[in-house]
Each structure stands twice: as C-alpha cells, then as structure tokens.
Amino acid sequence: MTKPIYTDYFFDEPAYNTHDGGYVPLERPAVPAKPLAIPALLKPDRETATDVYYTVTAQAGETQILPGAKTKTWGYNASVLGQTIVFPVGKHIHVTLQNHLPELTTFHWHGLIVSGPYVDGGCHAPVYPGEEKHIDFTLDQPAATTWLHAHPCPSTAEQVWHGLATMVLVTDAHSASLPLPHEYGVDDIPLVLQDRRFHEDNQLDYHADYDPDGVQGPTAVINGTVNPYFDVTTQKLRLRLLDGANRREWRLHFSDDLPFTQIAGDTSLLPTPVTMTKLMLTCAERAEIVVDFKGRQPGDKVTLFADDVPIVEFRIHAFQPDNTALPEHLFTVSAPTVDPALPVRKVVMSGMDEQVMLDGKKFNMQRIDAKQPVGQAEYWDITNTNEMHGGMVHPFHMHGTSFLVISRNGHAPYPNETGFKDTVGVNPGETVRLLVKFDLPGVYMYHCHIIEHEDGGMMAQIQTYEPGKPLPKYKLMDMDTLMNAFAKERGIKPSELWMAGMESYEKMGMKM
C-alpha cells in the first residue's frame, strides 16, 4: 500500500502567528551568504566505561553575525548558542555548571528525564556569577534531540534572546543500529531556528523589542548564521530541527515542494516514518527529518523556506548513490496503563498579552499547584481557551517527563506526533489529551513555551512523590531573593529593575 504524503501544516491556519497584531514577518537579509555554522561537539573532560564528565560554561562573547560590528552574545562554551552536547543513555553523567556571565542563570535540560528541581535546572537552581555547581544523573530514555537553555524566572526569555540555547543529543544503541545518517556535521546536521532584530552597530536590544506575547525579529538566524548555505556531499541528510525561538512558529518546506520524511519528534523516534512536504514547529518543539537529494546534480540548489522566506540554501555537490531504505518500523512505543478510576487532570491555558494565566492563576515560585505519584500514569487534558483576536497556538511543555499525545478534541493526534514528546502545540478552543507518567520524584514546572508567556506567569509546578514515603522538603527559590540578586548584579536598586514578565503581573495587579 502506498504511504500518504502529507501536504499541510496540520495546525489551524486562523491561529497561525501571522495573524497576531504584533506579528513580525521574516525578511530576506541583504547580506552575503555564509557557510552554515555547525556547532562543535563538546568534548568530555574525561570518560570511563561507566561514567562521563563534562564542563558546561555559560559565557559572554562577541559573534560576527552580520557584516560590520560584532554582536554581543551569550553562549555555552561558545560565544553564542553552544557546543553540541552528547549524552549516552546508561552512563552516569557528571556535569560541572560554570557561570561566567555578569548575572545569575540556570541550566535547564529541556527534554531530559532528570530529577527536579535542582538537576532539571528551572527557576529553583540558580548559579550565580563566578560560581560553579555540580550535578549528576543517569539517563533512562530513548535517543532524542533535546536541548539546554537558561530558565531563570522571569528572565528566561531575555537570556535565551542573548543566545543561551544549545542542542543536547541523547544517544542509545537502538538508534545507532538503524540505517540512518549518523555522521555529525556531514549528513547529521543540527538546525537551531531562531529570529532576531539587530539594532545600531548590530546589537540586540531585548527591552526595545519586548512584546508580552513573544519577542520576534525580522531576521532568521540559523545556528547563529544569517543567510546560511550548506554544502551537501551525501545523497541523504538528517536534519535535527529545533524551534529555539522565543515566539516564532516555523512553517517549513523545501523548494519545488521536495518531500521529506520525519523520523523523530521531541523525545523519541516515531514508530513509523511520516512523509510530508510541509512541517510546522511551535516553540521548543523538535523534529528530525531525512531529506533525499536523489536525482539532484552537482551545482543544483535546494532551499529551505519558512513560509515564503528562504532560510537555508543546500548546495549540491557530487555524492555516492545511497539506496538504503528507511525502516518501516523505527521505534516501539510502550504506553503505560491508566487506571480508569483515576480522574483526568485538567489544565487550562488562557489569555494573551499580560493576561496569560494557567488554570486562572499566574505562576508563584513558592506554590505547588499539583501532585502526582511517581510511576502512576494519568491522563492530562490541556485546553487552550484563548480566543482573543482569533486566538493563538499555545505550545505546552512539561519538565521532568515525556508524554504521549492521545487525542485532539477526541480525534487522532497529528500523524507526526505518535512518539514521545515534551512539548505540544494546542490550537485555540482545543483540548489535547496527554498520557503522563513521572519516573522520578521532584518539583517540576509545566508551562506555555512562548517564553514571554512563561515569564509572564503562564506556568505552574507539580510535585511528584514516592507513595508511602514522606514528602521531601525542597528549598524553593522565592521571587524577592531572585529579584534582589538581579538588581545587585546589575548595580541598581530593586525598584529600578526591569525584567520580562514584570509588567504582566503589575498590569494584572498581581505579585510575582
């Protein structure tokens, strides 16, 4: 039977960000093409048969993004974004976290199933300037494309805008055994999709660009490169796509509607490959796709577009024929069983601009909003009630676990979201049912991943616990301590401090 080729973006077109009042369309930059920057692989400090040791340093730098003055940026072991980190499943991983920035930050392992709140690296795990901390964990999850980004409430959006985001590849023996492109930088390519606005002397000005519904810029920046091209030397490419933007959805397609095949989502391979000509990613979602350039000749060019704007040019060179076929079966999903007597957990995302809330409340760092036993599978119904100005897609993200998408308004999920995920876009007026199980005790956040929305309070936190054991006490950061620290580091009074999200609380008459 011939498999279908999907030719739409799946999501509801009236809710695309192109309809937002504050939408910033991409513009093709009038700058020379540059080779796509491929982040270096972070080398372990040392490695044994059972353990691997890394040092991850958040640092300030300058990056030649545009002609002329260099842009002041932040990154991990690099001037912007970061070196790609590889974590093998099963090994005990030790990470030294260093902060060489002028202000506190946190290191959030988006997509890793690690304990919270301290190893997970959300708001409660600050690393202060000049400080280093040590974490360790062992991963027990499928191979996936995950990522690391800053998560200090309410400055997550601004620090990511400065550049604090990098890919983290989880590897395992099963994925390595499959006939997929595996050579990093040659046929296995990371693509971090972001957008920026550059001001005088090519500098970023987050405060000037601030929008409570999400900061956008007119210039696509891919792996920190503007107007990039990639020299193709193999018939097939595996592209690891990350929507690393603060707000922008990426609607992707190739020139001539070249079909491609999605093989993985956020936190696992898909059970079976899905062939399509169009792919939409909401903020923080990932997708791995395989593109086959069979029939292309040296000198040909294939362009990746976001809507109607070219963002990466693939320049074809001579390559050896590759007749390997993608497996019909990539991954076996083992879904946990839900006790039918358990109530369905309800989560409501509402509002736009400063009015964003989760379950009718804004985030409070000291408040535990939900509890769930470790090992107990539950259904979560995530509803997007927002219909202001036609509504918007809210990407819902959970820390500390991955979930299965069971249904959308009672119907089957999209064909490319049948593996494990940690982020899912929810259309206005839609309820998405998730199957959720936590394997580790801790405190974890769940929130909209339009980053300005989470900074503005569309976030909550859950405590997971081991049944029959006393609930552990966690030292949770409070907002006053965090704000006073930021003010001190910036050399100003707390009353003079401006941070993303503060206006959302103030305009709603709420305390952060």
Return the domain boundaries, the chain. Answer: 5-14+179-316, 36-172, 345-465
Reported as a single tens digit per residue, the pLDDT across 482-496 is 999 999 999 999 889
Q: At residue 324, does pLDDT exceed 70?
A: yes
| Distance from C-alpha of 474 to C-alpha of 368, rounded to nearest angstrom | 11
Instruction: Give the confidence band of 325 by pLDDT, cuts at 50, 70, 90.
Output: very high
Q: At residue 3, does pLDDT exceed 90?
A: no
Quick one: residue 494, left, alpha or beta (phi over 0 = left, psi -120 to 50 = alpha)? Answer: alpha
Position 438 scores a pLDDT of 98
Give the position of tokens 């097939």. 236
Q: Is CATH 3.40.50.2000 what the domain over 36-172 is classified as, yes or no?
A: no
Q: Is CATH 2.60.40.420 what the domain over 345-465 is classified as, yes or no?
A: yes
- For the 5-14+179-316 domain, the top CATH level (class) is mainly beta
Position 47 scores a pLDDT of 97
**By C-alpha distance, which of 187, 184, 204, 188 is closest to 196?**
204
CA 24 to the chain's CA centroid: 20
Position 509 scores a pLDDT of 80
Reported as a single tens digit per residue, the pLDDT across 129-143 is 999 999 999 999 999
Extract the tokens encoding 182. Answer: 């595996």
Quick one: residue 495, left, alpha or beta (phi over 0 = left, psi -120 to 50 = alpha)? Answer: alpha
Instruction: Give the confidence band of 389 by pLDDT, cuts at 50, 70, 90.
Output: low
Average pLDDT over residues 305-330: 97
Position 2 scores a pLDDT of 76
The rounded percent of the chain whose pLDDT value lies above 90 is 92
Position 172 scores a pLDDT of 97
Enumerate the H helices of 144-288 as residue ranges. 156-162, 173-177, 206-209
Q: At residue 256, does pLDDT exceed 70?
A: yes
| Distance from C-alpha of 463 to C-alpha of 368, rounded to nearest angstrom | 7
Instruction: Give the confidence band of 201 by pLDDT, cuts at 50, 70, 90.
Output: very high
Instruction: Give the confidence band of 433 by pLDDT, cuts at 50, 70, 90.
Output: very high
| Distance from C-alpha of 496 to C-alpha of 338, rounded to nearest angstrom | 50
Burial of 376 (0-12, 13-18, 19+ CB in 10 A): middle
The rounded percent of the chain whose pLDDT value lies above 70 is 99
| Fold match between domain 5-14+179-316 and domain 36-172 | yes
Reported as a single tens digit per residue, the pLDDT across 457-468 is 999 999 999 999
Q: At residue 502, does pLDDT exceed 90?
A: no
Give every CB contact of residue 433 below 8 A, 6+ residues apart in sequence. 344, 379, 380, 381, 382, 405, 406, 407, 408
